[in-house]
Amino acid sequence: QVHLVESGGGSVQAGGSLRLSCAASGYKQSSYLLGWFRQAPGKGREGVAAIDNDDSTSYADSVKGRFVISQDNGKNTLYLQMNNLKVEDSAMYYCAADLYTPPGAINTAIKALSLNRFGHRGQGTQVTVSS
């Protein structure tokens, strides 16, 4: 059973940085994707970043060059390093996992996150960026 628990959210001023963590379990029995999506009040879900079991990554255009996704396989932890944060980055951030993914799935992962096509998600952690 896949279990995902996010941490690391908080409040920060624009231009600042935060690192989100996601403690993950139960996902390594197959090829997989791990990712982050976000949702702000009154807005739709937005896929942010994804990584696969080969450490290939993909990013939403809105965060490219500012956010970095990584995983520590020894600690079974997913990270999202967020730099140069903007007010519009404020949202609830969720960790997500999808299993038995086909080759090349990383190329469509951002869209899949946005469309709620990952099979598992955590409870979320709030990020608030003030001007």
- Who contacts 127 (Cβ-Cβ below 8 Å, separation ≥6)? 9, 10, 12, 18, 20, 38, 82, 85, 89, 90, 91, 92, 93
21-35 confidence digits (pLDDT tens): 999 999 887 899 999
28-70 confidence digits (pLDDT tens): 878 999 999 999 999 999 999 999 999 999 999 999 999 999 9
